Amino acid sequence: MDNLENFNEITEEFEEPVFSMENASLFIVATPIGNLGDISQRAIETLRHADLIAAEDTRHTIKLLNRLGIKNTLVSYHEYSDQKKIDSLITQMLEGKKIALVSDAGMPGISDPGSPLVSACIANDIGITVIPGPCAVVTALPMSGIDARRFVFEGFIPRDKTRRDVISDIAESKRTVVFYESPHHLLRTLEEFAAIIPERKIAICRELTKIHEEVLRMSVAEAAAYFAERQPRGEFVIILEGKKEEIKVLTEEDIRRFIEENLSLGMSRKDAAAKAVSELGAAKNIAKRIANEF
């Protein structure tokens, strides 16, 4: 962390403060998803200067703080935190305290605790801001090679009775789909997709930002076969290409049927051929030839 400390010194020399906690009371702070070097300068300052840090797992966050040389008060705020915990954090913010919210890794609120506390802040007119930074979804997407212009994020695919419907919805999505998967369930998930969309392109992004970072780009069937042979290890983000619009090829039979139908309604051959051109996109000479066959 030497470089970061140097960077701190340089920024402290500026006359204008580059860091302020005036604009909010709740600071949603993104933390590294593997590589400590990805912590932002603003995240460090926020963790240092907040009155307290609400952490998904205080034992985990204390390690991050130790690596950053930060001493601060930690309280736990996790998926199972009850309303009393939220009320206590809200009361402290209403009294003027600044609270930093962190999860174990990445962006709080993205498949991680955060939303109920954010909603409570909004209900109490408490200012919220985000200190942006690492997030596995947006790290995986650009390196997947799969169209990232429009995408949906599914979090973890449920394992309850809704699973089958969720999987078939995902397979039908025209947009790129991003989801998280644990190593223990990866093979089963890939096999379930392979049964319905074997040819679809998939990118399996593993251990992002870490030493063993890897992206496998293949078809769904190939990915299922790959992991049937190898034990999946590490953390995974899966990017699945959206369903492509089926391009319907216009056959002479389609044109013939269309023209016949219109002739039977009393249309002239010339008009039926013209209609096949304008409505079906048939080639003029072919539509004319077919119309003259009747």
Q: Which residues contact 265 (CB under 8 A, 6 or more apart)?
A: none
- Torsion, Cα 216 222 224 230, to 10 degrees, reads -60
Q: Which of 135, 171, 224, 259 binds ligand SAM (CB under 6 A)?
A: 135
State the minimum distance, in angstroms, from the CB of residue 107 to ligand SAM. Answer: 4
| C-alpha pair distances (Å), 42 with each of 47, 72, 81, 93, 115 | 9, 16, 27, 20, 22
Decide if 187 contacts 228 (C-beta within 8 A).
yes
Please report how close the Cβ of residue 206 comes to ligand SAM at its closest, in angstroms: 6
The answer to whether 115 contacts ligand SAM (rule: CB under 6 A) is: no
Q: What's the min distance (Å) between Cβ of 97 and ligand SAM?
A: 24
CB neighbour list of residue 133: distance below 8 Å, 6 or more residues apart: 29, 30, 31, 32, 38, 39, 40, 43, 107
Closest CB to ligand SAM: residue number: 106
How far apart are CB 169 and ligand SAM at their closest, in Å? 19
Q: Determine if 65 is a binding residue for ligand SAM (CB under 6 A).
A: no
Q: Which of 57, 207, 222, 271 binds ligand SAM (CB under 6 A)?
A: 207
Q: What angle do CA 57, 61, 67 make, to 5 degrees?
A: 160
- Closest to ligand SAM by CB, 128 vs 250, is 128
| Least distance from ligand SAM to the Cβ atom of residue 131, Å | 13
The Cα 105–Cα 219 span in angstroms is: 29
| List 50, 93, 237, 272, residue binding ligand SAM (CB under 6 A) | 237
Q: Examine residue 250 and tell whether it contacts ligand SAM (CB under 6 A).
A: no
Smallest CA-to-CA distance from 105 within 230, 235, 266 is with 235
Residue 151 binds to ligand SAM (criterion: CB under 6 A): no
89 touches ligand SAM (CB under 6 A): no
Which region among 44-52, 70-78, 110-118, 143-151 touches ligand SAM (by CB under 6 A)?
110-118
Q: Which of 45, 154, 192, 235 binds ligand SAM (CB under 6 A)?
A: 235
* 276 touches ligand SAM (CB under 6 A): no
Q: Which of 136-150 are b and which e, b meaning 16 or more Cβ less than 10 Å from the residue's Cβ?
A: bbbbbbebbebeeee
Q: Which window, 17-25, 42-50, 84-92, 177-185, contacts ligand SAM (CB under 6 A)?
A: 177-185
Q: Is 107 in the site for ligand SAM (CB under 6 A)?
A: yes
Closest CA to 178 of 212, 225, 135: 135
Alpha carbon distance 156, 207 (integer Å): 17
Among residues 26, 34, 121, 204, the one that binds ligand SAM under rule CB under 6 A: 34
What's the per-residue H, E or C state across 103-156? CCCECCCCCCCCHHHHHHHHHCCCCEEEECCCCHHHHHHHHHCCCCCCEEEEEE
Of residues 179-198, those binding ligand SAM (CB under 6 A): 180-182
Nearer to ligand SAM, 136 or 287 (CB): 136
Q: Given the rule CB under 6 A, which residues bind ligand SAM?
A: 33-34, 103, 105-107, 110-112, 135-137, 180-182, 205, 207-210, 235-237
